A and B are shown apart, each in its own frame.
Chain A
Amino acid sequence: MSALELRGVSHSFEDTPVLHEIGFSVSPGTITALLGPSGVGKTTLLRIICGFETPQRGIVTINDRIVARDGESLVAPEHRGVGLVPQEGALFPHLTVAENIAFGLQRRRSSITRQRVQQMLQLVDLAESADRRPHELSGGMQQRVALARALAPNPAIVLLDEPFASLDAALRVTVRTEIVDALRRSGATALWVTHDQQEALSCADEVVVLLDRRIAQHGAPVDLYRSPLTRSVAEFVGEAVRVRGVANGTHASSALGELSLTQPLHGEVTVIVRPEQIELDDTQNPQSPQGRVIATRFYGHDGEIDVRLHNGEVVVARLHARLLPTVGSDIALRVIGQALAFA
Chain B
Amino acid sequence: MTRLLRAPVALAAPALLAVIVALVPLVYLLDTSLQRGLQSVVSEIFLSQTATLVARSLALTVVVTLACAIVGTINAWFVVRSSVPLRALWLMLLSMPLAIPSYLSAFAWITWIPSFNGFFGAALVLTLASYPYVMLPVAAMLRNADPQLEDVARSLGVGVFGALMRVTLRQIAPAIWAGSLLVALYVVSDFGAVAVMRIETFTWVIYGAYRAGFDPTRAATLSLVLIAIALLLVVVERRVRGRTAQRVGAGTARVSIQRSPLSVALPALLVVVGSVGFGVGVPVVSSITWMRNGSAINWSEVWSTIGASFGVGALTGGATVLLALPVGILIARFKGRLTDFTEGAVYVTHSLPGIVVALSVVYFGISFARPLYQQIPLLVFGQMIIFLPLVVGSVRTSIEQSRTVYEDVSRSLGTSRMNTIFRITIPLAMPGIAAGGALAVLGAVKELPTTLILRPTGLDTLATSIWKYSSVSDFGAIGPYAVALMLLAALPTAILSTVTVLKVVR
- Which residues on A are within 8 Å of B, measured CB to CB? 13, 44, 47, 50-52, 76-84, 86-87, 90, 92-94, 103-104, 149-150, 153, 159
Contacts and interface: CB of A to CB of B under 8 A. Distances in A.
A92 to B, nearest CB: 6
Interface string B409-452: 11111111100000110011010000000000000000000000
A103 B408 contact: no
Contacts of A82: 412
Contacts of B409: 84, 86, 90, 92, 149-150
A55 B1 CA distance: 15
Given A13-B1, A52-B408, A86-B405, A153 B424 contact: no
Nearest to B413: A104
Contacts of B1: 13, 44
Contacts of A86: 405, 408-409
Contacts of A90: 403, 405-406, 409
A104 B415 contact: yes
Q: Which 4 A-B residue pairs are closest in the complex by CB-CB distance?
A: A104-B413, A77-B411, A84-B412, A90-B405
- Which residue of A13, A44, A52, A93 has the most chain B CB atoms within 10 A of its CB atom? A52
A54 to B, nearest CB: 11
A79 B406 CA distance: 17
Given A13-B1, A93-B428, A84 B408 contact: yes
B406 to A, nearest CB: 6
Contacts of B424: 92
Interface string B206-228: 00000000000000000000000
Contact of B408 (A50, A79, A81, A153): A50
Chain B interface, >50% SS class = helix
Interface string B382-410: 00000000000000000000010110111
Contacts of A52: 408, 411
Nearest to A77: B411
A103 B415 contact: yes
B412 A149 contact: no
A149 B413 contact: yes
B283 to A, nearest CB: 41
Interface in B177-209: none
B163 to A, nearest CB: 40
Contacts of A79: 414
- Which residue of A80, A82, A94, A159 has the most chain B CB atoms within 10 A of its CB atom? A94
A104 B430 CA distance: 22
Interface in B221-263: none
Given A93-B428, A153-B413, 18 more contacts: A51-B412, A76-B411, A77-B408, A78-B414, A78-B417, A79-B414, A81-B414, A83-B412, A83-B413, A84-B412, A87-B405, A90-B406, A90-B409, A92-B409, A92-B410, A92-B424, A94-B427, A103-B410
B480 to A, nearest CB: 41
